[in-house]
Structure 1
Amino acid sequence: MHAAGLDVFEGRCGLDRTGFTPPSYESVHRLTLIRSGAFLVRVNGQESFVDCGAAVFTHPGDELRLAHPLGCGDTFTTVEFASQVLAGREGEWGLSVHRLPLDDDLDLLHRTLVAASRRGVDAFAVVDQMHGLLDRLLTAPGSRAVGVYGAWTPRRRETLVAHRRLADRAREALAAGQYTVGLDELAALVSTSPHHLSRVFRQVTGETLTAYRNRLRVRAVLSDLQDGAGNLRTLAARHGFADQAHLTRVVRRQLGHLPSEVRRMLAAPG
């Protein structure tokens, strides 16, 4: 879809490559919002693990390399926008930050915009809402953080790098579908103690492991609902919820809507 300085695309990655691609160079301002899956990205040499809890923001001239240690197939929405959209706002939007947190409200707004576009609603309305999403995403506190993960910084650079890597390994394990493992098992998967993992993950990301895991599980449910899945009991078992009632409670707590309401919001074209 093209309108008002924005080009919006839906995509599914077919690049099955565990190692990093050769470098490519961005020619436009691009925001990529992840709907499912996960991958590694290096922007100008800075490496980040990106999953459905994040967006990637790049600019003309940025060197970009990608890897898919969990395999291909991730789905995403890409927004390319003209330079005039950013005119006078570079300081406001903190353009040096490339990995941006995607909170629950913005994720649901993103998905409902995708659903509206599929239904063929007024492009003006969709683009207007997309500009609103951009404003909210790029002016969020996390978008102004120093570096990728936030303003918290250990005293030694080596410690910061090690903590980032540990948080990324935990993210990768959970993004691979390890929603049912306990904290002890997750810590064993990333070769550390449960206490150290819990503390470092919270310091690096600004949220607890429990909150992060719940967010991933809810977004996996949203992706399945958007793809036409309808049986909530099956979805609960697939994504590690105790039962359908547990899934309903978590979705309502995270999104402020019941799964049945979310299903209608994300309904495919009739």
Structure 2
Amino acid sequence: MITEIKFKKQICDIGKRIYDKGFVAANDGNISIRISDDQFLITPTGVSKGSLTPEMIIKVDIHGNVLDGEYRPTSEMKMHLLVYKERPDIQAVVHVHPPYATAFAIAGIPLDQALMPESVVYLGTIPIAEYGTPSTEEVPNAVKKHVREHQGVLLENHGALTWGKDLEHAYYLMESLEFTAKINWIAKQLNGDRELSKTHVNTLVEMKTKMGIAGKTPLGVETSEGIHAKKVTTTTGSALSEQDLNYIIEGVSRKVVNELKKHL
């Protein structure tokens, strides 16, 4: 019982952290912890993760039956239970909607480039789990394809999901996922998302293996000798020519001048 109280308080603490970081809005997101082989603590539906209290946390079994608690468990419970069924080693699951990661999920772009050493080693690749209607079997079925070889997924047009050896681990994986998505997006805006070479990635993979970190890893790219990274994506669409830009600027300027004349 003391352990359950401790875990409930931890869920509340992580809930406040994800809310304060803007990883969720309103009542979004859900968190769970395994407390035995077939029993779990999980957050309730319809409650802000920033306002959780220990008595709100529900105990359920592996089939989703409520064992203790006055609230209803999150409607996304099936997704959590799928992870636990497929991965007996996993002790906690976090699902939230962090802005940058969710933007990649909406765009259908996986986080699978070797852009930073830290992401290669600690996060690995984060694939896209194809879209499923929330609270249905479609979502766990989509996650199932990736859960054994990764530490998390982007849920297409939905958000992100991570799992770990304990709740702190699952949460920090989510922080890393969102940070990687943010850096990835900024690099793309600079037209400079250069991917590490296969040689350097292989060295990082050796480090990762020695550290006992699981999950698939980005492959890296072929580069010329002595070159550590290479631009691998191209900007889609055609850039505006100088003539086009001047035309737009002149048009906007004329409209502004005309509007000002009306008020003089």
For the aligned pair, the TM-score class normalised by the smaller chain equals under 0.3
* TM-score (normalizing by structure 1): 0.26
Q: Which has the larger radius of gyration?
A: 2
